[in-house]
Amino acid sequence: MHNWRSQIIFLAAILLLPFAVVIIVAIWPFLPILGWALLGLAITWCTCLAIYGVALAYHKLVLMGIRRQREYFSRRYIVAGNVVVFHQEDNPRNLSAEHLQLPAPITLEEPDQDNYSPDDLGILAMVSKGKSQTEAAKAYNTNQPYVSRLVRRWKDQHNMV
């Protein structure tokens, strides 16, 4: 049964032998060029293989670092359902509970706006008499932005434009 396959292969080899001889005779003058081409191909292949080896080694090292970091953090974070706990050496912290806690409402206490110091009242009196804010600031030894804020606050309190 295998005999007919062997005969077909033997017949194909006999029929293709003249073509092989023609190809070898045709290539014979170009053998040095083909040798250099094969040498260049081998050098290119070795260079690419070396670059691939270096890249593969670098990739493996980076993956090892990532795995080490993940193991370090996975030992410190415990996840069970919807609860996440951060394990510290002295005490564990429940991060889920901290996340759910709302911060205390912030209340800003504004100073009593009706209380003015005597200097403030003097500055307001000077400005109301027509003196400039700069002159009032120099007279009471303060700066002009403070006088401007003081006048603006007075006008806001008394609904003046």
Delimit the domains of the chain by residue range. Answer: 118-157
Stretches where the chain sits below pLDDT 70 are 1-2, 73-78, 83, 86-114, 161
CB-based contact 147:103 (threshold 8 Å) = no
- Summarised one tens digit per residue, pLDDT across range 66-104 is 988 877 766 666 677 776 776 666 666 666 555 555 555
User: In angstroms, rounded to a whole number, what is the distance separating the alpha carbons of residues 56 and 76?
Assistant: 30
The two three-digit tokens of residue 109, written as one number: 């206490």
**99 vs 85: CA distance, rounded Å:** 11
pLDDT at 88: 65
Which helix (DSSP H) or strand (DSSP E) does residue 78 occupy?
strand 77-80
